[in-house]
Amino acid sequence: MSPREQAYRERAVAPAPSSSRRRRIPEGFTYISSCVKYTMFFFNFLFWMCGLLLIAVGIYATLDKWSNGEVFNLKTIYDVMFNIGFLFIIIGGVVCIVSFAGCIGSLRENMFLLKFYSFCLLIFFLAEMTLMALAFIYPHKLTEFLENELSEKLIASYRDDLDFQNLIDLVQQDFECCGISSNGYRDWSKNEYFNCTTKEDNPSVERCGVPYSCCHKEPNDVLVNFMCGFEVQEMKEVEDVVRKINTEGCIPAIQALIEGNLYPVGGIAIGIALSQLFVIWLSRTLEGQIESQKSLWTIQ
DSSP 22-88: H----TT--S--HHHHHHHHHHHHHHHHHHHHHHHHHHHHHHHHHHTTPPP--SSHHHHHT-HHHHH
At residue 92, the pLDDT reads 94
Q: How many residues are present in the chain? A: 300
Q: pLDDT at residue 115 above 70?
A: yes
pTM for the predicted model, two decimal places: 0.75
Average pLDDT over residues 141-158: 79
Q: pLDDT at residue 100 above 60?
A: yes
- Of all residues in the chain, the percent with pLDDT exceeding 90 is 27
In which residue ranges of the chain is CATH 1.10.1450.10 found?
Answer: 141-260
Average pLDDT over residues 247-258: 88
At residue 26, the pLDDT reads 63
Q: Are 99 and 48 in contact (CB under 8 A)?
A: yes
Kindly provide the residue ranges of all beta strands, DSSP E only, lying in 132-180, ordered along the sequence.
none
Q: At the top level of CATH, which class does the domain 141-260 belong to?
A: mainly alpha
